[in-house]
Amino acid sequence: MLYMVNKSPLMHKNLETCLRIAPSEEPILLYEDGVYAVAPGAKAESLVTKALQSHPIYALKADLEARGLQRCIEGVEVIDYDGFVALVEEHDVVPWL
Amino acid sequence: MTMRNQVAVLMRKAPYGSVYTAEGFRSIMGVGVFEMDVRVIFIDDGVYALVKGQDPAGLDMKSLGDGFPMLPDFGITKFYVHDHSLAERGLTPDDLVMDVEEVDGNAVARLLAESGTVLPF
């Protein structure tokens, strides 16, 4: 399953609760305000770094660019809209709204 | 003391994920036109509205980061950013599109207490 998170990690617990449920190896896709989680130096950094040990984590490029996020935590894979579509085609989706 | 003509605009949401930041911006312009004393406070995810380098072309939206630095031209000059909100996001004043006064939580509470009206976004 592809777990999709679109909420800011500092205002909402969505990413944290999603990571408690998502089984190891299942991919996590961050989009909209969810991409703030991959900003180096922010409070969610340790949560993401730890999650990367057991999940592939993707962040949507257009949402990163919109928010001025030029750097990502190492290990996060930045994908464009085509990559997004490919992931959704490949997996069943769990929107963690 | 509460000043009836003082308005605090409280910006707490990240840009682009919702309409709040854009609507807050429009409200600031509107209140400014009536020559009221406006204080704009960026706190929590609201500080993200001021981050440099925003490019929402891929979302087919306009950059909100380009809008706020134009507000002083419309007579709106009092901008405050909550220091703790910046720090927990790994940001410093150098990461922002304009000069704003960094204030602590007590100062934010004081600004709100002084204002006759608080517009929340």
Reading the block at residue A92, the tokens are 């069943």
What is the C-alpha to C-alpha distance for residues B7 and B35, in angstroms, rounded to an integer?
A: 11
Which helix H or strand E contains A5, and what residues bound it? strand A2-5
CA distance B56 to chain A (A): 4
ipTM over 0.90: yes
What is the C-alpha to C-alpha distance for residues A52 and B71, in angstroms, rounded to an integer?
A: 41
Domains of chain B, with CATH numbers? 3-120 (3.40.1260.10)
How many folded domains does chain A comprise? 1
Q: Can you give the pTM of this predicted structure?
A: 0.94
Residue-range definition of the domain harbouring residue A29: 2-95
Smallest Cβ–Cβ distance between B55 and the set A32, A41, A66 belongs to A66
What is the CATH number for A32? 3.40.1260.10
DSSP letter assigned to residue B51:
B
* Chain B residues within 8 angstroms (CB to CB) of chain A: 13-17, 44-45, 48, 51-59, 61, 65, 88-91
pLDDT at residue B1 tops 80: no
From the list A17, A16, A71, the residue with the least C-alpha distance to A41 is A71
Tell me how crowded residue B87 is: count the other CB atoms within 10 A of its CB: 15
Can you state the percent helix, strand and coil of chain B, rounding each to 5? 45, 25, 30
Q: Do A33 and B61 touch (CB under 8 A)?
A: no
The pLDDT tens digits for B78-95 are: 999 999 999 999 999 999
Report A:36-65 residues touching B (Cβ under 8 A). Answer: 36, 39-43, 45, 61-63, 65
The pLDDT tens digits for B29-52 are: 998 888 889 999 999 999 999 999
